[in-house]
């Protein structure tokens, strides 16, 4: 996710694989298809307990520009509408790319004249939690490159992230590693048994945090499509010396799938990505969201290898990531396309050219970059979510 108003997507090389039908049939994965600030959205009733609350059946996740301002304007945490079930504070960033030392501060008053005091912010966190909401620290973003190359950096990551969580009384962690934070070393070919230090150390660090805070610890991830779905075609540098970041999130997701609360891939600022139909899909349409999400819910052979399958994630651990407006990022779709995506994935109706491998009524919900840009756009994204799920 970008600090600036938008970020142009990086176009990816077009790669080929074996026919998906043969690959998925061989791996046993195919399932038969089943039939300006504006006015805030109206509050949704919540029956969840205030502490340690589970997510609602369908959840809305949004990033709040907390440490910086941009063209969308600063929004106080207390002013975030009740529509948002998980609020990711953007961003905690490292002192250097390899230090593991994560810092988080509220936006400077010179940049955000209406910023709250630290005490007001902490009180707002408690108030949101009393409503059954989750407030997380999001680490990374476009500018926050994090490479845990050593055990020392891993341990510093754990201690510094813990300090942020403890100071503000937060519910957990969102991993938004972008750019060059994650990559796969040459020769590290099995995503189920990774050897690359930046991957192994990240997995270890997150498991340590989960162990420290227990079952109520909320863990979410927001990788880009390049780091996840592209793994169907390429994983790491391969023998041809390709981009070592291709599919680099897969070992992290897989190792932490039992600890993971929610995965919401950024289906924006993306180049064309091949789906399980072996067709390239372009962002900016319902088909793109359906195809990318279906890959997570169906599973896929990594780099086309039927002996090395990334297993499907449960529907309740997956949300669709979209930009809130045209200002927020490339690949924005209007509410009608958002609803087509949800209809197709959860009801197997209103589908376009891509047919998902089943009906997924338990799909958790939606994520957006960002709450600030949605406010700027008269809360169109949140209002549509509330209307769709009731």
Model pLDDT for residues 376-388, shown as the tens digit of each residue: 999 999 999 999 9
Lowest mean pLDDT among 163-172, 181-190, 238-247: 238-247
Q: Taking Cα atoms as reference points, which of 184, 300, 302 lies closest to residue 237?
A: 184
Mean pLDDT of the region 291-311: 97
Q: Taking Cα atoms as reference points, which of 106, 79, 81 lies closest to residue 164?
A: 106
**pLDDT at residue 300 is higher than 50:** yes
* pTM for this entry: 0.88
Which one of the listed residues 178, 224, 337, 380 is annotated catalytic? 178
- Please tell me the distance from the alpha carbon of residue 177 to that of residue 217, in angstroms, as a whole number: 19
Tens of pLDDT, residues 93-150 = 999 999 999 999 999 999 999 999 999 999 999 999 999 999 999 999 888 899 999 9
pLDDT at 144: 87
Percent of the chain, pLDDT > 70?
A: 87
Residue 316 falls in the annotated catalytic set: no
CA distances from 98 to 93, 195, 207, 382 (A): 11, 18, 19, 37
Long-range residue pairs from 101-105, CB within 8 A, at least 24 positions apart, any chain:
101/156, 101/157, 101/160, 102/139, 102/146, 102/157, 102/160, 102/161, 102/164, 103/160, 104/66, 104/67, 104/137, 104/164, 104/168, 105/67
pLDDT at 143: 85
CA distances from 171 to 209, 341, 379 (A): 11, 29, 25
- Please tell me the distance from the alpha carbon of residue 123 to that of residue 231, in angstroms, as a whole number: 42
Tens of pLDDT, residues 16-53 = 333 344 334 333 444 333 333 445 554 443 333 334 56
């Amino acid at each position: 996710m970008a600090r600036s108003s938008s970020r142009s997507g990086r176009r990816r090389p077009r790669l080929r694989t074996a026919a998906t039908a043969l690959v998925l049939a061989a791996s046993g994965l195919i399932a038969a298809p089943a039939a300006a600030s504006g006015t805030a959205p109206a509050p949704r009733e919540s029956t969840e307990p205030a502490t340690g609350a589970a997510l609602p059946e369908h959840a809305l996740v949004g990033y709040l520009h907390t440490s910086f301002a941009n063209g969308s304007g600063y929004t106080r945490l207390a002013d975030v509408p009740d529509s948002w079930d998980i609020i990711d504070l953007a961003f905690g960033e490292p002192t250097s790319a390899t230090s593991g030392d994560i810092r988080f501060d509220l936006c400077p008053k010179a940049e955000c004249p209406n910023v709250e005091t630290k005490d007001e912010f902490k009180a707002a966190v408690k108030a949101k939690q009393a409503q059954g909401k989750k407030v997380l620290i999001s680490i990374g973003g476009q500018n926050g490159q994090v490479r845990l190359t050593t055990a020392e950096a891993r341990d510093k990551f754990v201690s510094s992230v813990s300090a942020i969580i403890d100071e503000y009384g937060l519910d957990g962690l969102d991993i938004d590693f972008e750019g060059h934070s994650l990559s796969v070393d040459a020769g590290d070919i099995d995503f189920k048994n990774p050897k690359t230090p930046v991957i192994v150390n990240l997995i270890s660090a997150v498991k340590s945090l989960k162990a420290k805070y227990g079952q109520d610890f909320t863990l979410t991830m927001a990788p880009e499509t390049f780091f996840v779905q592209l793994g169907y075609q390429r994983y790491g540098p391969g023998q041809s010396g390709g981009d070592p970041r291709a599919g680099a999130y897969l070992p992290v997701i897989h190792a932490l799938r039992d600890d993971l609360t929610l995965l919401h891939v950024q289906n924006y600022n993306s180049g064309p990505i091949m789906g399980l139909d072996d067709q390239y899909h372009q962002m900016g349409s319902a088909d793109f969201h359906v195809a990318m999400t279906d890959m997570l819910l169906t599973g896929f052979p990594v780099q086309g290898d039927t002996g090395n399958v990334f297993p499907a994630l449960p529907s309740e651990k997956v949300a669709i990531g979209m930009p809130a407006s045209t200002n927020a990022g490339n690949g924005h779709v209007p509410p009608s396309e958002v609803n087509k995506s949800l209809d197709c994935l959860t009801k197997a109706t209103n589908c376009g050219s891509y047919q998902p491998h089943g009906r997924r009524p338990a799909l958790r919900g939606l994520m957006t970059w960002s709450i600030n840009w949605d406010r700027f756009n008269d809360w169109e994204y949140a209002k549509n979510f509330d209307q769709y799920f009731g």
